[in-house]
Amino acid sequence: MRFLYSLIRFVPDPGRGEFVNVGAIVGSDSSGWQIRQIENPVRARRLDDNSLLDGVWSFMDRVGSKIDQYEQESESLFGPGMELGEDWLDTLYRDHQNIVQLSPPTPVAAESADEAMDRIFELLIVDPASRKYRFQKKNVALAAVRSAYREKSIRKGIDVRERVQLMTPHHNGRFDFAITNGHVLQLTQTFSFQVPNQEELAEQIKAWGWTVHDAQLRGGNIATAQGETFQVESDVDFEVVYIAPQEGKLAPALTDAINIFDELSINAHEISDVGSVATRAKDLLVAAGTGHLGIG
């Protein structure tokens, strides 16, 4: 996958041009964004004759808070009220040319944003401290589903809508993807069972399950961020793509989730089987008479 990154530099005297890399921003429009700073800034302190480093850490805190806010709002029913994309990173680069500077946004290929960040730190940033344990967020699963749909010629904004709100007679819930052809054919949700807060994740999945259950009994409608609405029949295809826990890590939320998936007859797939979801979506679109897929 393709990601963009910018190195974050501490430049104590812009006229002299001496700098030290103190962190990086990595991400893409499809995967979201993350920021990481060095754990041991010993080299930066050696250059900080005028006590300017606090301004660098404040900048990184502001960027990190904005990313956190974007991720939190992405989990809400209505999606984020702001956009953090490649243009956002380019603006950061152009707007910061003083004691905080960013390197020009540069593409890097990796399996995930975490892998891209690790590679950048290994090759471009000197940090004497060891890396902390890192986990895969649901953004990895979101990107995998997007890619799988794209490989099946399922078109964004035409056949598939993202961040939709499912409204049933008694519940509301957000879904990551909806396959549509006049009405909704498939609803897909992603989860990561590597996140640290397993209790919160389990509660989110239980609430989500009640919305699915109500839709299976009574149907409903979805609303998109663009103001579109589509009818959801009670027999709509529900799919889940999830990131399994890391080996040796406890994930009690997964046990609860599997019980809910089984009880509601939801097709749950580990991320390695994401192609099955896209194949099912393609079959549903073909059966519904979508001609652009090149079949029939």
CA 204 to CA 64: how far, in whole Å?
A: 24
Residues 6 or more apart whose CB falls under 8 angstroms from that of 61 comprise: none
Task: Give average pLDDT by consecutive 10-residue segment, the chain, 296 residues.
Answer: 95 85 92 90 89 94 91 61 82 94 95 90 76 72 94 94 94 94 96 88 93 97 93 97 90 94 96 97 91 51
What is residue 75's predicted lDDT score, i.e. its pLDDT?
Answer: 62
Q: Is the pTM of this model over 0.85?
A: no
Q: 252, 138, 246, 248: which is closest to 197 by C-alpha?
A: 252
Domain ranges of the chain: 2-124, 138-287
Q: What is the pLDDT of residue 82?
A: 61
Cα angle value 214/74/58 (rounded, 5°): 150
CB-based contacts of 270: which residues, under 8 Å, 6+ apart?
A: 241, 242, 243, 244
Pair 166, 271: CB distance under 8 Å: no
Short-list 169, 206, 209, CA closest to 187: 209
d(CA 273, CA 241): 8
- What architecture (CATH level 2) is domain 138-287? 3-Layer(aba) Sandwich (3.40)
Residue 245 is given by DSSP the state P
Q: What DSSP element (H or E) covers 142?
A: helix 138-151
pLDDT reported for residue 30: 80
Tokens of 116: 């891209």
Spatial CA neighbour of 71 closest among 82, 62, 56: 82
| 176: nearest Cα among 266, 75, 250, 269 | 75
pLDDT at 292: 61
